């Protein structure tokens, strides 16, 4: 015999609904992070392949163009353009010898974020680490990341901004806020 459970008030139902939504949102976030991570691993490995085959714009442009055509035919929605393939190589070259913490921080970002960091910050590991961590922590989309880079936010952080006497003149919490 089946037991019928009755909800006695609206707030009890709303609590169940909120918990179910939280479970679904957590699962969706986990799935999105797994997709991004797997996609970046694919970008890394293709970049590594191009690097190890010593393909560059002078000696290999034809190969990469042909590779792009064939990959786009096989995987039309995966962004296998010539410029994207070169970006994959750039990604591998830029980070394969980097600190593992930097690799992990960058490796969980969406591909557009990674490309912006590589393009706008070149070889500044500290700035890249800063923006990668903030993008993850604050959930920045690519436009917010680009704006933060344009504003030079990493140069204006409290630990970097010591040209004042706030720590001496103000209580600790107010000094941190003022910075």
The answer on 61 and 22 residing in a single domain is yes
Residue 158 pLDDT > 60, yes or no?
Answer: no
The answer on 51 and 13 residing in a single domain is yes
The answer on 137 and 119 residing in a single domain is yes
What mean pLDDT is reported for the chain?
A: 89
pLDDT at 145: 96
State the residue range of the domain holding 112: 98-179
CB atoms near residue 179 (< 10 Å): 16
- Give the three-class secondary structure for 146: helix
The answer on 57 and 7 residing in a single domain is yes
Q: Could you tell me if 166 and 179 are in contact, meaning their C-beta atoms sit under 8 angstroms apart?
A: yes
Structurally, how many domains does the chain consist of?
2
Q: For 129-135, what is the mean pLDDT?
A: 96
The answer on 54 and 82 residing in a single domain is yes
Q: For 156-171, what is the mean pLDDT?
A: 65
Q: Could you tell me if 129 and 105 are in contact, meaning their C-beta atoms sit under 8 angstroms apart?
A: yes
Residue 160 pLDDT > 60, yes or no?
Answer: no
The answer on 108 and 92 residing in a single domain is no
The answer on 109 and 73 residing in a single domain is no
Please state, in angstroms and rounded to a whole number, the distance separating the CA atoms of residues 97 and 103. Answer: 9
pLDDT at 173: 62
């Amino acid at each position: 015999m089946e037991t019928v459970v009755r909800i006695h008030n609206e707030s009890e139902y709303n609590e169940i609904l909120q918990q179910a939504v939280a479970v679904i949102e957590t699962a969706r976030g986990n799935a999105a992070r797994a997709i991004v991570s797997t996609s970046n691993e694919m970008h890394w490995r293709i970049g590594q392949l191009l690097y190890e085959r010593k393909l560059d714009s002078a000696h290999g442009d034809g190969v990469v163009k042909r590779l792009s055509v064939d990959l786009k035919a096989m995987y039309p929605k995966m962004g296998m353009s010539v410029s994207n393939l070169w970006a994959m190589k750039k990604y591998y070259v830029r980070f394969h010898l980097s600190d593992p913490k930097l690799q992990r921080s960058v490796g969980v970002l969406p591909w557009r974020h990674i490309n912006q960091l590589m393009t706008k910050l070149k070889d500044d590991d500290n700035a890249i680490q800063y923006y990668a961590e903030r993008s993850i922590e604050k959930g920045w989309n690519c436009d917010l990341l680009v704006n933060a880079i344009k504003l030079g936010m990493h140069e204006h952080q409290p630990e970097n901004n010591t040209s004042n006497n706030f720590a001496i003149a103000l209580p600790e919490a107010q000094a941190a806020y003022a910075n």
